[in-house]
Amino acid sequence: MKGAQPSDTVRAMLSYRGVMLRRHLQIGVAKGAITQEQADAKLAEWVKAKQDKIQSKIDSVAKAKQSAAKARKEAESKVKEARAEAIRKKAEVAVAAPAEPAAEETPAEPQA
């Protein structure tokens, strides 16, 4: 309630944790605008809403991570299947085209 004013960075951290709201509510209690019970109720409501928001963000990040991993795995399986198909075709070509018999070459007659 007394002391130096927080910098912007520190104010953001304190606000994130609800310290600034608590301070604001305590000033209201000190002035008689609200009772301590009302201030506590407002703070508890804010904390619950904040926790819900944080949890939903955690869930959405986890879901995005899972979907990215699934997409990566599907892409890898497609590449694997394409490689297997290429290898299979290469093997079929090798089996289908029997080794061509060596062309019968007549020995070249030596020229005298």
Do residues 46 and 21 make contact, with C-beta atoms less than 8 angstroms apart?
yes
Whole-number pLDDT of residue 108: 57
Domain span including residue 57: 8-96
Average pLDDT over every residue of 72-88 = 92
Give the angle 86-89-90 at the CA atoms, nearest 5°.
85
Report pTM: 0.57
Domain membership of residue 45 (yes or no) is yes
pLDDT exceeds cutoff 70 at 86: yes
Q: What is the count of structural domains for the chain?
A: 1
Within-domain flag for 52: yes
Q: Please, is 6 exposed, middle or buried when counting C-beta atoms within 10 Å of its C-beta (0-12, 13-18, 19+)? A: middle
pLDDT band at 2, cuts 50/70/90? Answer: confident
For residue 16 the two structure tokens come to 């994130």
Is 111 a member of any domain? no
* Main-chain phi, psi angles of 3, to 5 degrees: 120, -165
pLDDT of 112 reads 54
Most confident of 26-35, 46-55, 95-104: 46-55
